[in-house]
Amino acid sequence: MSLECRYLLLLLCLPLAVLAGEVHHHRDPETGLLSWKVKDHGFSLELIQLLPDYVRATYESRGFPPEVIDGIARYCVFGTIARNESDAIISYRVADWRYVTSDGQEHRLKTKTEWVKEWHDLGVAFHWTILPDDQIFEVGDWSQGFTTIALPPDSVFDLFYSWKQRDEIRTGKIEALRCAPVKPPES
């Protein structure tokens, strides 16, 4: 059985209360951009919409060639902050996370390792900005970076994520995440 099938089976078998902590949704009054934050069993995950122009500017300012900038700018990108707010060690693997589109199809997230390899093959030696593939957090540790979803602006999807805590794999779901629009919304 594939990893994807096992993951979906695991998610279907878990009680709903285990699937998600309370998700807090926020609209920035100045920019109109949306963010989502969830904290479950001490694992905190926050996703903040990033406009395609912001993503382009981030990589242009670092001298990336146009083909690299165009490649990542075609993705739905979120600024992501992961935190360990528990009293135990927590770890995660982005390769285990999935997003489900409105047609019910499950998709993998593109990992930092995949981005770095693609960039290296195009002659770019850079590894910052993307959320690390996997991390082990001591109590109080946190990390941030871009999370990339292969969807166009304004797309809506559900994110299934997981983390490990005290040798137990936990799962969560954030429903109805929305990719940033092409242009800033009117506040």
Per-residue model confidence as pLDDT tens digits over 7-63: 444 444 443 334 447 999 999 999 999 999 999 999 999 999 999 999 999 999 999
Q: What is the CATH number of domain 3-178?
A: 2.60.40
Can you give the pLDDT at residue 95? 97
Distance between CA atoms of residues 89 and 108, nearest Å: 25
- Number of other residues whose CB lies within 10 A of the CB of residue 132: 16
Instruction: For Cα atoms 72, 78, 81, give the angle at the middle one, nearest 5 degrees.
Output: 130
Distance between CA atoms of residues 20 and 40, nearest Å: 7
Does the pLDDT value for residue 165 go beyond 90? yes
Distance between CA atoms of residues 172 and 138, nearest Å: 20
* C-alpha gyration radius of the chain: 16
